[in-house]
Amino acid sequence: MRSRFGSPVLDASARLLAPFMWLFAAYVMVHGHDSPGGGFQAGVILAASIVMLRLVRGGGTGSGLSSRGALTLACAGPLLFGGIGIGSLFSGGNFLDYGALPLPMDPVQVRVIGTLGIEAGVMLGVTGVLVLIFDVLASWDDGTV
């Protein structure tokens, strides 16, 4: 697993495919509430693109996300989710009651922003955890994360 696959065709096609997978993940996340998809699916697609880059180009810097970065993402996602939930709790609403968030906007817009933030938190968390599982299984860094 440590050695690169070494084929220019694989390398070029992975390079070409990755940006479109990221764009598709962003589309799935943003359109999650009126079409199939959502934060979890977007996170899985993002993780699949990073795992593909790791398989083709080797671990570490080649895939744009280190193991440490994946750990940061896996912690930042639940932090964002819980931050929005507890933030609305402390500004007078219920847990995850986005309308209560103290933002200078329409309550409807605040709800949309809150839903988007929740989805982004789920996406970051899922991406980080899946990439971490792959890193631990493939042990790019000798098993240490």
26 Cβ contact partners less than 8 Å away, ≥ 6 residues apart: 42
Are 77 and 128 within 8 A, CB to CB?
yes
Q: Which chain residues interact with other proteins by CB under 8 A?
A: 1, 28, 36-38, 40-41, 44-45, 47-48, 51, 55, 130, 133-134, 137-139
Report in angstroms how near the CB of residue 130 gets to other proteins at its nearest: 6
Report in angstroms how near the CB of residue 144 gets to other proteins at its nearest: 15
Locate all alpha helices (DSSP H) within the chain, ordered by sequence: 8-30, 39-57, 67-90, 107-138
Report in angstroms how near the CB of residue 143 gets to other proteins at its nearest: 10
Residue 44 vs 96, nearer CB to other proteins: 44
Residue 100 vs 140, nearer CB to other proteins: 140
Report in angstroms how near the CB of residue 21 gets to other proteins at its nearest: 11
Residue 47 vs 65, nearer CB to other proteins: 47
Q: Residue 82 burial by CB count (10 A; 0-12/13-18/19+): exposed, middle or buried?
A: middle
Residue 34 vs 108, nearer CB to other proteins: 34
Total residue count of the chain as it appears in this document: 145
Residue type, 134: F
